[in-house]
Amino acid sequence: MRSRTRRLLLAASAFALLVLLVAAAAWFIATGALEAGITRWADARQRDGLTVAWDGMERTGFPFAARVRVRGPRIAAPQGGLPLREWRGDSLDVAFTLFAPRRVTITTSGRHVLSIADGGETIEFLADVDGLAITLSTGNRFPATGEAVLAGVTLRDSTGRQVLRGTGADVRLDRPRDDEASLILSLESLDIPVLPETRLGRRLGPIDARIMLAGVPPQDISADALTRWRDAGGRIVIERLHMEWGTLAGDVTGRLVLDRRLQPAGRLEARLAGLRDAIRAARDAGVIDDGTATLLRLTLSAFTTGPATLPLIVENRRVTAGPVTLFRLPKVRWP
């Protein structure tokens, strides 16, 4: 009896050792593939004109997760391209479980540095991230679906002054077909202390949107790729964009395309409640002058005494409602 028990224990130990060795081999192969995938992605971005680098990579997560920690990651864009010149972080983790290898998760937190071009100078901002998790699910196309969840972020300028604080952001991507992608976004609140003090306050939110990208999505955001997407009939359909700012609440729908300069253009419809307070706030903040404020109030009174529905035209980087220019859009410089 003792001999039989001993043989069973030895067999169980051998089986456990075999399972452990197989798991170790699978984990080693998976983390190696993950490291190679990160390197291939960086090489591809280098060909797009970006500079991608890091201080080192280490493998973690044994035995059930293949995880690679990238230490000191940084991405830099060339001059004359996107406004974001450089991003640097403390670290980020790229991982998938051995039971779901098609589901990749990227997580990070802590201090991040953003360098943004403003005219002829570069301004540096410090972003303290409470927690960011990005999940990408692969299929016949990459990504097939994706989601980014941000617990919170505080952005400060180089002097330490708080510029904004955002909480509860969730962005979801779905690609039901090759020629269609939908983006669903929600944000609990966005506090912007640097805004002028007005009756609307300095907190925006909640904000939620559903945006559909029609046409086969471009492989990157280079000017050439976006031009091909536009010429093939690509367009942006805003199915819903809801935002609240103090007493102002708005819902926007419409369609946008890229014009010959690759700037957004199109027609929108905005349904706004609390617009009179917004007009007074814009006048008090100096965004519009007294004459424009009076014209807007008279135009609004001629059509409605309640929530207003306004047709908006986006053209030549201007957003207009009838004869009134509401604001100008910053020029987007694509790489």
pLDDT per residue, tens digit, the chain (335 aa), is 556 666 555 555 555 454 555 555 665 777 778 888 889 988 988 887 788 999 999 988 777 778 899 999 999 987 766 677 899 999 999 988 767 777 889 999 999 999 987 767 888 999 999 999 999 887 655 556 889 999 999 999 988 899 999 999 999 988 877 778 889 999 999 999 988 788 888 899 899 999 998 888 777 777 888 899 899 889 999 999 999 988 889 899 999 999 999 999 999 999 988 877 778 877 777 777 778 777 777 766 665 666 778 889 999 999 888 777 877 888 887 77
User: Cα separation of 132 and 148, whole Å?
Assistant: 7
**For the chain, domain boundaries:** 2-177
Q: What does DSSP say about strands 84-89 and 203-214: parallel, antiparallel, or unpaired?
A: unpaired
Q: What's the number of CA atoms in the CB half-sphere (13 Å) around residue 137?
A: 10
Question: Residue 182 in contact with residue 211, Cβ under 8 Å?
Answer: yes
pLDDT of residue 12: 55
d(CA 71, CA 55): 5
- The H or E element that residue 226 is part of is helix 223-231
